[in-house]
Structure 1
Amino acid sequence: MTESSPAYGLWSLVAINSAIFILFAASFFKPRSSRDWRTLGMFSAFIVALFAEMYGFPLTIYLLSGWLAARFPGVDFLSHDAGHLLEVMFGWRANPHFGPFHILSAILIGGGFWLLASAWKVLYAAQATGTLATTGPYARLRHPQYAAFVVIMAGFLLQWPTLITLAMFPVLVVAYVRLARREEREAEASFGADWQRYARTTPAFFPCRTKSRTHPIAGDRGEHSSGERS
């Protein structure tokens, strides 16, 4: 982690990487309503803030430079590798891209995008038939798409923590929970007892190891919407 050449001021990389991940998320999430765009917009703000520090200006390292230099002497904090602060703080001195935090980060980010794509397929089919979604990810979670965004952001935090994204993360989690609760009220108003039965046996954000089987919901054609973007 003593790479000598500075790795910041690369604003073109900020723009390119931000665009790639935002468009990637949009291709899986496929926003249509104003609520969808608000959900994607909050995620996009997090991504831009992340890459602005990763390749643009290292605000977190600048603000913590005194403490970092005293605590970890000999580390060149203007190098890209040193920006992986968790790897530095826990003593990983090899290539941080192969460190435990970076590997876990990749798993979370990849898994989050997989969950986002899987949930959209089920939700799209449910909306096409005007029913609720209890198959696929919706068999384990009522809000897999919101959960996916949170998992992806947590993965990025493990890879490149910054003060701004650390502050944004709980705010975005609360915002997603509030959006989910609002959608649940709308789903209950639309589907009544069917929704209540589904909600009683399916957790909102944290999957259970096993899901108790319920009686078939009236009008169930295998694809029921949890309320997300309904």
Structure 2
Amino acid sequence: MTDITAAYGLWGLVLINSVIFIMFAFTFFKPDTPRDWRSFSAFSAFLVALFAEMYGFPLTIYFLSGWLQTRFPDVDWFSHDAGHLLEMMFGWKTNPHAGPFHIVSNVLIIAGFFVISASWRVLHEAQGKGALATTGPYSLVRHPQYVGFILVMFGFLLQWPTLLTLAMFPVLVWMYVRLAQTEEQDVIATFGDAYRQYAKTVPAFFPRLRKLFGGGSTAGTINPA
């Protein structure tokens, strides 16, 4: 079997990449409340699990190695590039970093961080005014920061799928949905009918295509009644 020492066991890279991406997300999200910290901690755990398999120990490759080697005998599954499972399984023959799944992955990750950052700026400004955030990403969905986290995680899943992160992803999505529901009850307690009216026109997580492609948006901020 191929020696994987050079490809994995790079725990320093696990630490460096985990710290970089977690701090990068931290500068965008800026968790403040206990609810913020719970969602951010869960996202951080996902990143650590991802990079531990990307550079540390390829648990998924080991677990699936028999099946993978039987189905795709021409692939050196213990090379580092083979960790891009979707690119390998669908027969992308060149550098996997230039493959379609990797490109889509990068788009989703960048878009996710952009949504998180843009949402935080709008929310911070609205909170400073004691108003309800309804502009920017909040004109498209009611919980854009959670949408941003989900986009980033899904992007990483396309780029480097592992059994652990695949198991974590639906759990984290469920957690974000529950956090969003709890958060809405708190906002309703503050804004009352103003938030209920906003919620009637703006979906929770999936933007309406008409608004997404420039068909109009909710403008301004709504002050408490």
Classify the TM-score, shorter chain. over 0.9
Q: Which residue of 1 aligns with 2:138?
A: 138
Q: Which residue of 2 aligns with 1:228?
A: none
Task: Give me the identity figure in percent.
Answer: 63
Q: Which residue of 1 aligns with 2:221?
A: 223
Decide whether the 8 Å contact of 2:210 with 2:216 is kept in 1. no
Q: CA deviation at 1:74?
A: 2.3
Hey, what's the Cα distance between the residues in 2 that align with 1:88 and 1:134?
A: 43
Deviations 1:163-187 (A, max 9, x none): 0000000000000000000011111
Q: Are residues 208 and 65 of structure 1, via their aligned partners in 2, closer, same or farther at CA, if it must alter by over 3 Å?
A: same
Q: CA deviation at 1:223?
A: 3.2
Q: How does the TM-score come out when normalised to structure 1?
A: 0.91
Would you say 1:188 and 2:188 are equivalent positions?
A: yes
Decide whether the 8 Å contact of 1:3 with 1:76 is kept in 2. no
Gaps of 5+ in 1: 217-221, 226-230
Gaps of 5+ in 2: none
Hey, what's the Cα distance between the residues in 2 that align with 1:112 and 1:171?
A: 18
Deviations 1:96-118 (A, max 9, x none): 00000000000000000000100
Q: CA deviation at 1:78?
A: 1.4
Hey, what's the Cα distance between the residues in 2 that align with 1:180 and 1:66?
A: 41
Q: Which residue of 2 aligns with 1:34?
A: 34
Hey, what's the Cα distance between the residues in 2 that align with 1:119 and 1:10?
A: 35
Q: Are residues 125 and 141 of structure 1, via their aligned partners in 2, closer, same or farther at CA, if it must alter by over 3 Å?
A: same
Moved over 2 A (4+): 2-6, 210-216, 222-225
Would you say 1:206 and 2:206 are equivalent positions?
A: yes
Deviations 1:130-168 (A, max 9, x none): 110110000000000000000000000000000000000
Secondary structure class of the residue paired with 1:93: coil
Q: CA deviation at 1:34?
A: 1.2
Hey, what's the Cα distance between the residues in 1 that align with 2:64 and 2:14?
A: 22
Q: CA deviation at 1:4?
A: 8.1
Write 1 or 2 for the structure with the bigger share of helix: 2
Q: Are residues 115 and 45 of structure 1, via their aligned partners in 2, closer, same or farther at CA, if it must alter by over 3 Å?
A: same
Of residues 155-164 and 72-81 in structure 1, the stretch that sits farther from structure 2 once superposed is 72-81
Decide whether the 8 Å contact of 1:5 with 1:79 is kept in 2. no
Q: Which residue of 2 aligns with 1:149?
A: 149
Q: CA deviation at 1:72?
A: 0.7
Hey, what's the Cα distance between the residues in 2 that align with 1:102 and 1:215?
A: 34
How many residue pairs align between the two structures? 219
Decide whether the 8 Å contact of 1:18 with 1:51 is kept in 2. yes
